[in-house]
Amino acid sequence: MVDVSAKERSAREAIAFGKIELRRETLELIGKNQIGKGNVLATARIAGIQAAKQTSQLIPLCHNLNLSHVGIDIATSESGLEVKCVARTIAQTGVEMEALTGVAVALLTIYDMCKAVDKEMRISDIRLLEKTKRDV
């Protein structure tokens, strides 16, 4: 683990993004809340938030951060769903791994919940959109 003890604490935010391609029929089932495992969007949001909070348990040498905010937004696109995660903290190190983990697990949750009805799903474009740091 990198020693960040000499660094000043600062307000940090990271925004990550990813998407999952779904068949039109699958999107309609999600919209009507007719996926057998339950409410896909609500479950994916909770899973993404929980994952961001557990990032240091999942990724070796990742600092354990006290998150002040994690938000997961899921939007419909022409080809499926797009997931955005915003993570915030006041710490000596960045929060991008938490935002990326939130996106990845939200997408994996959607995949898991829809795999019985859609064999053509494809997760892609997981990336960091932005990270910022400001003095506190």
User: Which residue in 3, 112, 125, 135 is the catalytic one?
Assistant: 112
User: What are the distances in angstroms from CA 74 to CA 6, 63, 70, 112, 127?
Assistant: 37, 27, 13, 16, 15
112 classed as catalytic: yes
**What is the Cα–Cα distance from 63 to 95, expressed in whole angstroms?**
9
For 104, left (φ over 0), alpha (ψ -120 to 50), or beta?
A: alpha
CB atoms inside a 10 Å sphere around CB 34: 10
Q: Where in the sequence numbering do the catalytic residues fall?
A: 112
